[in-house]
Structure 1
Amino acid sequence: MQGQTDKASQFNPMDIPFTQRLSYKQTRLTVIVAFMLGTLLSLIQVGFDYLSQNASIDREIRALLQISHNPAARITYNIDAELAQELALGLLNSPAVIHAELIDNSGLTLASVSRPPLQSGYRVFSDFLFGKQRRFADPLSVSHAPEESLGVLVLEVDTYAFGSHFLERAWLTLVTGFVRSLLLSLILLVLFNAMLTRPLVKLIADLSERNPRQVEQQPLTCPAAHVDDEIGVLVKVTNRQLHSVAQENAQRREAEDQLTRHLAELEDRVNARTAELKASNERLSQSNLELQQARAEALHTAQARAAFLASMSHEIRTPLNGLLGMLNLARENPLDEQQRQQLDIAQESGKVLMELLNDILDLSKFEAGQLELEQIAFDPAALAEETTRLLSPNCHAQVQLTCLIDTQLPALCLGDPKRVRQIISNLLSNALKFTRSGRVDLRLRSSQHGLLIEVEDTGIGISEEAQARLFQPFTQAAAGIAREYGGTGLGLALCKRLCEAMQGTLQVSSQVNQGSRFSAWLPLTSLSGPANWPALSGLVLLTSSASSGLGEQLRQWLPYFGLQLRFIDATELQAPQPDAALLICQHVEEALAMRQHSQLPVLLLGDFAAQLDTRQSSELAPLQQALLPLTRHTLYQALQQSLNQTGNADSHPHSSGKTSAPFSGKVLLVEDNRVNQMVAQGMLGKLGCSVSLAEDGLKALERLENEDFDLVLMDCNMPLLDGYQTTRRIRQQPRWQGLPIIALTANALPEERKRCQAAGMDDYLAKPFRREDLAALLQQWLPKAGASD
């Protein structure tokens, strides 16, 4: 059996196909290269021949014209038609000329002869290369008057007479090149077979007859004349490998015997290990089942939480919208001071509740990975000043709140202004809450590749232990903080996550009873340079301390406005100040005392409307007032008016004196809640809109059928036909395709906006909304009234 196997395993070199043999491959490669090179050289030769032939056509015809020039000139000079005919017939004897014509200087044809061109199947190649015909014209003149034209000799040449010879030569060149390549391939095939294939075939045959299982192997015999070339080296290497194989076979037999013994031992170990693995697999399967159950419970919990948040958002925002809306409307009615104070307190409480709800929803968006950041242009300085002004009522009487804007801060940045405002508002609210006296400073300045926001206070401070858990949700520095100061512990956690979402950082440094500093760095792209203000001039005297927040603010911005600043006290003012143009004071008594020594114009900083009587106002005249905390625009306008310098401050892009004009248009309000109906109707009426009401989607469709509207405010959750279905039905009608539809919903989660857009709504307004929010939407979707305020 083994002998049969060995015989079957022997390899016959003649079994190699001819096209797979080395000699054929070597020959094929050589011939291909030689054929390509020969063809290229032949083509080059044909190309040179073509250029030479093409030039010779013109050369020969020009020579013929030169020979015929003098006879033709004499004929045209003598106007001899008979000789002209003979000359033309003579030129026609040339095999290339198919038309000859002799014309005198008056345009009279003295002779004209023609014959048909040659016809051939190869003519198309000649015409392609040399053109079908060529026309030559020789102006005639005599030697003693070369400028005088006697006529013209015209020849038309059939290029095939020349092209046929070129084609014959080109064909012969290509055929001989091919024959040379064929002969070369046959010669090389024979040589390569004798020198390469035969020795290798003999070597393969000898090698295939060997039995690799034999321990002793006879060395291979090297073919004659190949001892020192590659074949000889191959034989030496093969003999060395055969010897190594024989040794390895002997070692392998010994190793097989040892392996057999080890396999028996291993089999026993495997059986024991298999029993252990079976038990482990059973435990792992049980663990996987428990994990799957836990995952299902977690998904169910997440879905339940999302549903709860959506329901909570809707159920809380709906009555809150009615509460805040009615409070806003009530505050616009005639009220006494006590009633207005009560309504203000109720409205502030509603805003606090609204901010708490928004914080909880934002925190849920972070946990669900649904937070979406906008990328729009905004003014960071104006945003910070507005936030400071809105939070200033939360400031204690003994606390000085200051907004310090770097003069080199870019006027426009690219980012999410809503989230930047949220960071500033939370940090500033936190500082005001825990500071009962001293200073709270908000600083904005540009840093490397971004915006740096710093809030520094002189409050109660934070211990190092409490700083470690400061940014955890629902966590405060100490157990008694919530009882004494209030709060939920969400603000700083949201700030931290908002900074991280913007690829920024939030850091804190604090000492107990000395204050805290929160630093937020946001990588916002700058879109412009610093803001430009029309320059003012003059020397301003300031009685405030240079180390106070107000002093630092004025020391920073007055020189930027072009003014000089000098800090003085009452004793210094007793001396003449001839170069001074304005006096700035922070206290009424201080201003009255200063006025006894100087008649400079006075700028009072603070809310003194209730403190100044008629006498004091007359004593301080000329007098200007500016509310604290100061903004750049407020400060600039007050300085400008005090110094009587006519700059155009309102033209500055940060001017806050703009008022929205009333709107015109007919609005369909689709709302089922009576309180929300009253709120929306009241706000729309104040904004100048005509309002029609529909309690559900079906009535809204009926209203649209019978009346024309400019805009639809659509509540999303209604009986009978909700806002989504109603909007889809409206969009199915071609005449209502361009009608703006704004969603009114108490669900403030991100997927709600996408759901409204999918239904066909154009915009989205979350409840509760302010009149300013509604006016912004009307500004976009409704035309303004023709008259302005």
Structure 2
Amino acid sequence: MTEEQVSRMFQSFSQADVSTTRRYGGTGVGPALCKNLAELMGGEIGVRSTPGQGSTFWFTVVLGRELLPAAEIAAGRATDLRGLRVLVADDNATARMVCQEMLTAMAFEVTAVASGEAALAELRKANRPGGGAPYSLLLIDWAMPGLDGIETIRRVRAMEDLAQMPKSIVLTALGRDEVRRVASEAGAAAFLTKPVNISVLFDTIASLYADDDTAPDWAAAASADRGGLDGVRVLLAEDNEINQQVAVELLTAAGVAVDIAENGRMAVDMVRQGDYDAVLMDLQMPELDGFQATREIREDARFADLPVIAMTAHALNEERDNCLEAGMNDHVAKPINPDVLFETLTRWTATADKAEAPSTASASAPTAPAPQAVAPAPMEKAAGPSGGLPETLAGIDLEEARAMLRDNDVLLGRLLSDFHDKYMDYDDRIIEALDAGDTDTAMRTAHSLKGVSGNIRAKRVFDAARTVEDALRTGAANGQVLEKVEDLSVALGEVEESLSVLKV
């Protein structure tokens, strides 16, 4: 940004770029709110910016220091509720989604259904062999067609075959005392008025499980299942947004602290200024590719032993040899196999001095922070088809996709939507590149489509894109390549049609 743009950055309703063709919307009030919040907390906020290079935002706040030893703090706190299995029942799709997203942000395992009848069925299903852990909490809307929330709770309380009786919270837009009384008599443990505030919701849930030895054992089990990756600091060098989301979801769920570099040049700069236990390096990126970036990293003796792991969609021995020659330690194949990814990272970071928690800003404002794109928090997790996705989608192996993303249907739905929005014309892009005589661009386009389609388990598209890429790589005639592109077009058409139902 220019100095003039920086000077008005923290003014209300101000934007650096006010053109109507901006990619991103917004009113411009956010920076002003942040300024007010920082000042209310005894600090300040600012920005340093260089046109054409980037901007660094910083803030300071005054916080108190905990005086008790960590062990005493942990002993005096409420039970760790991460992994708490929660069932949400609300006939309103928007309210259901909002509640689901708030709960998943609290690290709960969430299933959402649209009726009282579906809630009863889901509770029974969870108690069958192979049904997973029983639900500990039921959040249910009061006013639903068919079985309303109160009657549903009564029937749940009458279910004698439940391995664990879930606590119930009634949600309603009506704050009448009569509703509260009836809900309490039915067995509800708490009552919240819509719209629900996320802080109030969390405090209410925490109060229900204070000093409660029935809190989830599976939270500890999930932590133990991470393969020793808790606190490992990883730089993910990947330019594709869908591939970023998949990798970040898997890694953060395993306790890994992740930063993202969107190109090879950024990856080199972040390694030089950061403190990482490993780098996951995509091979085909702008600015610098993965090979060039790794060579530059290795030129600095400080990073001679930093594990650099290639992420490649190529299965060729030649590609693997090139990775080793460039200074990489290992490779994992795309589409990502979570078990292979975790095993590889664990092997190369076993002796790392791991952080106690994911990286956070220091207490004081940094003087010259490293340029970085911090990974978002793990995406919301939803439960299966009832979370919004159908049982099947033509061209997509939903079972494998769900297994890869640990049944995170919210994230999977977003990935599929992004794929539908951004990749349906990649066959045309390949043809345009061929018509222009640009074989390299055609091959990169096919390669990119192959990697993304593999990660969302669009198998026919993946196979067809791989065939096109292989034909281009081996120097096949344009006529032969175009025949392969026709097969790719058919595969993309199948996926486009099936994913269009998600856009309605």
TM-score interval, smaller chain? under 0.3
- Name the TM-score, length of structure 1 as normaliser: 0.18
Higher Cα radius of gyration: 1
Q: Which has the higher contact order (CA 8 A, sep 6+)?
A: 2
- Name the TM-score, length of structure 2 as normaliser: 0.27
Considering fraction of residues, name the structure with more helix.
Answer: 1
